[in-house]
Amino acid sequence: MRVTIKDVAKEAGVSIATVSRVFNGYTDISEATKNRIMKIAKEMDYLPNAAARSLASKTQVTIALILNDFEMNRKNTMAMEVLSGVYAYTEEHQIEFVFFATSRIKQGSKSFREFCNEKAITGAVVQGLKVNDPYYKEILESQLPVALIDMWADKESICSISIDNVKASTEAVDYLITQGHRHIGMINGRREAAVSIDRETGYVNALKKNNLPLMEYYVQYANFNEKIAVEIARDLLLSQPQLTALFCASDLMAIGAMKAVSEMGLSIPEDISIVGFDDIILNDYLTPKLSSVSQNMEKIGYEAAKNVYKLIKKEPAERQVYIEHGLIIRESVGPARVGS
What is the binding site for DNA (CB under 7 A)?
Answer: 2, 4-6, 13-21, 23-24, 26-34, 46, 48-49, 52-53, 55-59, 117
Please identify which residue in 98, 197, 204, 327 interacts with a copy of itself, judged by CB under 8 A: 98
Burial 72-98 (b: 16+ CB within 10 A, else e): eeeebbbbebbbebbbbbbeeeebbbb
Phi, then psi, of 63 in degrees rounded to 5: -110, 130
Quick one: 49 or 76, whose CB is closer to DNA?
Answer: 49
Kindly state whether residue 191 participates in binding a copy of itself, applying the rule CB under 8 A: no
Binding region for a copy of itself (CB under 8 A) out of 12-20, 118-126, 209-217, 266-274? 118-126
d(CA 285, CA 295): 18
Strand order in the sheet with 291-295: 219-221, 184-188, 245-248, 273-278, 291-295, 325-328
Kindly state whether residue 157 participates in binding a copy of itself, applying the rule CB under 8 A: no
Cβ of residue 96: shortest distance to DNA, in angstroms? 12
d(CA 15, CA 156): 43
324: left (phi over 0), alpha (psi -120 to 50) or beta: beta
Binding region for a copy of itself (CB under 8 A) out of 26-34, 42-50, 148-156, 184-192? 42-50
Kindly state whether residue 216 participates in binding a copy of itself, applying the rule CB under 8 A: no
Cβ of residue 142: shortest distance to DNA, in angstroms? 17
d(CA 105, CA 107): 5
Give the three-class secondary structure for 250: coil
How wide is the angle at C-alpha 173 spanned by C-alphas 244 and 131, nearest 5°? Answer: 115
Binding mask 234-273 for a copy of itself (x = CB under 8 A): ---------------------x------------------
Given a copy of itself, DNA, none, residue 74, with its beta carbon under 5 to 8 Å by kind, binds a copy of itself
Query: Which residues lie near a copy of itself (CB under 8 A)?
Result: 2-3, 45-52, 54-55, 70-71, 73-75, 77, 79-81, 84, 87, 91, 97-99, 101, 110-111, 113-120, 255, 281-282, 285-287
